[in-house]
Structure 1
Amino acid sequence: MSIKSDALAQQGSPRYLASGDPALADYYPAWLDNLADDVTVEGSMLDGAVQGADAARTIVVGIRTLYGTSQEFHFAGPCGDNGWLEDYIAQVDGKPIGCVALMTRNAAGQTQHIVASYRPRSSLLLFARLLGEKFAGTPLANYFISESAA
């Protein structure tokens, strides 16, 4: 199944400033409900890769809480034989942010690997700091706040 959007960014404007596809307003990432026990998550907002279903779920749900109701999808659909791709926008602390995320499945059909790329850089840096604050006092905070920034 493919879920495609006809919503395109204005020519010359970054896609993270374009509205999402209203047809995807009720989209839910079903891959989140089927994580492998040893799933890994990595992205431009964190240092290293986090492993484990509980940690990955905590991070993804934490990210979504920072978006509030502002998350809008441009695209969500299959990518290759074992992948799922999402292209979406949101706001973090009032700043626009865009994300392209690729989830790959293992042979059992479980989400095995999640990788997410965020833009623009200014929103990415704010986002990482806010996630570090959100996870303060937990081992997850270290993935978002560097030693030099702490």
Structure 2
Amino acid sequence: MSTYLGSGNADLHRRDYRPAWLDDLAEDATMEASVLNGIVEGAEGVRAILGYARTLYDYQEFNYVGEYGEHGFVEDYTSRVHGEPIGSIVVVRYNDAGRAQHVIINHRPLRSVLLWSRLMADHFANTPYAKYFISPELTRDLLGPDASS
């Protein structure tokens, strides 16, 4: 079974998770992700993008959340976004002051990555963050005109 499909157990679906690291970003934090075109630099941009991104999940079903090595944190979860299954691995690396410095996010499968980027592009159109997402026109070409509009 594909790991991004989750267990199917609705009792494991969380809608209340807010990672503590998101409230403690270094001012020069960076974020890389499979849904991004480029690297987001600065706490303000990371917060803005993740603040909206978190609203797209129908729920989060966690496989693991916790420490990762001496200066890291990891989240492994599945969800659905506009009905499409999505799996996520988030790796956070802390700086020497213990603040979140680098955020790396991997989503799968590709169809969900493209849908996610399209939804983000639609939301952030005409903002400084629009450049980080695939164009809505291209994702419509790749996913089809009716893909979770």
So what's the TM-score if we normalise by structure 2?
A: 0.84
Task: Give, in whole Å, the separation in 2 of the partners of 1:20 and 1:30.
Answer: 27
Tell me, yes or no, if the aligned pair for 2:6 and 2:79 is still in contact at 8 Å. Answer: no
Which residue in 1 is equivalent to 2:80? 91
Q: How many angstroms does 1:49 deviate by?
A: 0.3
Tell me, yes or no, if the aligned pair for 1:87 and 1:101 is still in contact at 8 Å. Answer: yes
Tell me, yes or no, if the aligned pair for 1:44 and 1:118 is still in contact at 8 Å. Answer: yes
Q: How many angstroms does 1:62 deviate by?
A: 1.0
Which residue in 1 is equivalent to 2:104? 115
- Indicate yes or no: 2:34 matched with 1:44: yes
Task: Give, in whole Å, the separation in 2 of the partners of 1:58 and 1:43.
Answer: 14
Tell me, yes or no, if the aligned pair for 2:5 and 2:79 is still in contact at 8 Å. Answer: no
Structure 2 counterpart SS, 1:16: helix
Tell me, yes or no, if the aligned pair for 1:100 and 1:118 is still in contact at 8 Å. Answer: yes
Which residue in 2 is equivalent to 1:16? 4
Give the RMSD, CA atoms, in angstroms.
Answer: 2.2
Task: Give, in whole Å, the separation in 2 of the partners of 1:147 and 1:90.
Answer: 22
Structure 1 pair 148–129 and aligned structure 2 pair: CA distance change class (3 A): closer
Unmatched tracts of structure 2, length 5 or more:
140-149
Q: How many angstroms does 1:23 deviate by?
A: 7.1
Task: Give, in whole Å, the separation in 2 of the partners of 1:120 and 1:147.
Answer: 18
Tell me, yes or no, if the aligned pair for 2:91 and 2:104 is still in contact at 8 Å. Answer: yes
Percent identity among equivalent residues?
A: 46
Task: Give, in whole Å, the separation in 2 of the partners of 1:77 and 1:58.
Answer: 24
Q: 1:105 aligns with which of 76, 94, 109?
A: 94
Greater mean alpha carbon deviation, residues 132-141 or residues 23-32: 23-32
So what's the TM-score if we normalise by structure 1?
A: 0.83
Which residue in 1 is equivalent to 2:146? none
Q: What is the total number of aligned residue pairs between the two structures?
A: 137
Which residue in 2 is equivalent to 1:145? 134
Unmatched tracts of structure 1, length 5 or more:
1-12
- Indicate yes or no: 2:53 matched with 1:63: yes
Q: How many angstroms does 1:93 deviate by?
A: 1.1
Tell me, yes or no, if the aligned pair for 1:39 and 1:112 is still in contact at 8 Å. Answer: yes
